[in-house]
Chain A
Amino acid sequence: MATHVTRAGLGLALGLWATTVCAGEWSGYAALAYTGYMHAPLYADQARSDFSVALQPEYRHRRENSKDEFTFIPFVRLDQQDAERSHGDIRELAWVKVGEAYEWRVGVRKVFWGVAESQHLVDIINQTDLVENIDAEAKLGQPMVNFAAIRSWGTLDVFILPYFRERTFPGRDGRLRTELVVDTDQATYESSRGRRHVDYALRWSKSFSGVDIGVSRFYGTSRDPRLLLGSNGAGTPVLAPRYDLIHQTGVDVALTAGSWLWKLEAIHRSGPGAGYTASTAGFEYTFSNVLHSTVDLGVLAEYLYDERGDTATTPFQDDIFAGLRLAFNDAQGSELLLGAIQDRRSHARFFNVEASRRLGSLWKLSLQARAFTHIPVNDLLFGMRQDDYIQVELARYF
């Protein structure tokens, strides 16, 4: 009897689910990428080239006459060389309830804070999906309960983050890694609750005419692990991620005046060691319709600072970023971004080229090239010094 009731309930639930699901909308993309490395690999198991495929469907459902929304975005990548890079993730699985002056956002989501181009210091809610891209802009879905009060005095976001996502790292076969492989199975936590430690975050933000300001506060497990020397079961030396508990206060400001867009991000973080300050500050100056064409040219410059200097967990402690952004404003939406980051003391340099162009209405071709020069032995990028690469990706949107 009970089984029948359960079955009937299940049937009813499935029926309801089917009717709601059918009212939703699917979109997304599938992509094929090829990466060719310019130099022979440094480490035995690495290869000269790599193919991978990725799929990211998006499902959205919004009821008629309602702003409330359900979103589901799974992601999967299969990589020819690196088993760690073959991975799946739920980027979003969330429900948003929209009220008169508030929003509830519950589930797995992605949240971005910040204004800078070269690095994202203030952005702390989501873990980096590092195997996707060394630019740290790919993020893993973060489970959360987020309440936002949207008032005349600004927006106040409260986050409760009940589950921690560990950073992904390339495996032994992958390039763009540290000399010693990061063994993610050996991750340790400062909190005895490990990845079940509940993290909290608060953010106030407000836009004025010409100015956006955000102030944020985070307490919980750091998204940036320290990498400690250890060994795996076979006795091979590896790096083990160590996730500390930290407090972080962040400020981000964007200010526009004419062709200038000024940007500032600054954080103060305290954890088990000494507290420290880090910041990114710079500008983007845009020339519209250069030389009577439809091309917009942006000139970017940023200074990257980390008080910890050489002991920083980032390669950017006293670095200058300079870049050019070209938006061709053609029917294909062609874009080109050229950038370089130079360490002011070691003169280590990192070059970045990103270009993309639409083909027809459903395809997009993207190119990414990165190079590393003058990388000193003590630099965090030392293991990547031979990993200059060109990546071509063809994506089909649906």
Chain B
Amino acid sequence: MLKRPLALILCLIAFSALAETPEEKGLAIAQESDRRDQGFGDSTVDLEMVLKNRHGEESRRKLRIATLEVRSDGDKGLSIFDQPADVKGTALLTFSHKGAEDDLWLYLPALARVKRIASANKSGSFMGSEFAYEDIGSQEVEKYTYKYLREETYEGVPCLVMERYPVSPYSGYKRELAWIDKAEYRSFKIEYYDRKDSLLKTLTWKDYKQYLNKHWRAAEMYMLNHQSGKSTLLKWNNYKFRVGLKDADFNEASLKRAH
């Protein structure tokens, strides 16, 4: 008599594991990806952006980016523009939030003025590039809902493919299709579909390197806009982790003297 309930319980457990919905599995993948990058503390990196129009003409931007991991909320970021020369000293302070719209402030050195950017501007272009603010901002789990689709090999790497749907009504996208590798839960490709559900952009990651034996960062990210033919290549250099950044390095005072 005793054996039967046990069998039933085992059966139920197995069933519930099997019955994980695509939404639950998608969320679990996003959470695992997020969990694996927890604990980086803070980082600094140099960024070079190469913007190309459909005629192949290039223009370049140079930035330095500092990031502070915030456990209870979204990360804080400070981006300092070095090139082109006319925007040198301009800086962007970002507080991303898990359950609310991000806070963004731009410092304009010519006027010594800090301007708040409306949160809905997240879908706008970042520095004339093919990256929107929301593409380069902190990718918090709570900013999307998810749906697992399938397993698929991308450029020889076994990947999990899922869709994610931005929670914010101000996002420029209806959905995003993401390829995440099974081994390390790193992003390899995202297809962005606009509000009309047509393919707008594809972002691909290349040359992943591991830091502190844990945190994977790609050396290159390439965004191609299928509708305009324009592209932006991000080259990440000189990654440094746990350099001792604090909350005090991410406020209005530090924004003003960022240059």
A98 pairs with B116, CB closer than 8 A: no
Cβ-based interface call for A43 (8 A):
no
Q: Which residue of B lies closest to A255 (CB)?
A: B116
Which A residues touch B251, using CB under 8 A? 150, 155, 207
Which B residues touch A361, using CB under 8 A? 59-60, 83-85
Per-residue A-contact encoding for B36-59, CB less than 8 Å = 1, 0 else: 000000000000000101000101
Cβ-based interface call for B212 (8 A):
no
Q: Give the interface SS of chain B, mostly helix, strand, loop or mixed.
A: mixed
Cβ-based interface call for A330 (8 A):
yes
- A293 CB to nearest chain B CB (Å): 9
Contact of B88 (CB < 8 Å), options: A207, A212, A327, A397: A397
B84 pairs with A210, CB closer than 8 A: no
Q: Complex: how many Å from CA A261 to CA B128?
A: 22
Q: Complex: how many Å from CA A333 to CA B120?
A: 20
B97 pairs with A254, CB closer than 8 A: no
A333 pairs with B87, CB closer than 8 A: yes
Q: Which of B124-172 contact A (CB under 8 A)?
A: 124-125, 127-128, 169-170, 172
Q: Complex: how many Å from CA A331 to CA B59?
A: 7
A60 pairs with B118, CB closer than 8 A: no
- A74 CB to nearest chain B CB (Å): 15
A397 pairs with B118, CB closer than 8 A: no
B253 pairs with A331, CB closer than 8 A: no
Cβ-based interface call for A209 (8 A):
yes
A259 pairs with B111, CB closer than 8 A: no
Q: Complex: how many Å from CA A210 to CA B101?
A: 8
Contact of B253 (CB < 8 Å), options: A103, A115, A212, A327: A103
Contact of B86 (CB < 8 Å), options: A260, A328, A397: A397
Q: Which of A174-217 contact B (CB under 8 A)?
A: 205, 207, 209-210, 212
Q: Which of A377-398 contact B (CB under 8 A)?
A: 395, 397-398
B259 pairs with A256, CB closer than 8 A: no
Cβ-based interface call for A148 (8 A):
yes
B85 pairs with A212, CB closer than 8 A: no
B128 pairs with A259, CB closer than 8 A: no
- Supposing A67-B257, A361-B59, A397-B86 touch, asked if A258 and B111 sit within 8 A by C-beta, the answer is no
Q: Which of B214-259 contact A (CB under 8 A)?
A: 227-228, 248, 251-253, 257, 259
Q: Complex: how many Å from CA A136 to CA B85?
A: 25
Which A residues touch B59, using CB under 8 A? 331-332, 361
Q: Complex: how many Å from CA A333 to CA B90?
A: 13
Which A residues touch B111, using CB under 8 A? 112, 137
Contact of B118 (CB < 8 Å), options: A101, A258, A327: A258
Cβ-based interface call for B8 (8 A):
no
20 interchain pairs (CB within 8 A)?
A150-B248, A150-B251, A254-B116, A256-B101, A256-B117, A256-B119, A258-B118, A284-B118, A285-B118, A288-B120, A288-B124, A289-B124, A292-B194, A294-B128, A329-B128, A333-B128, A358-B86, A362-B86, A395-B86, A397-B88
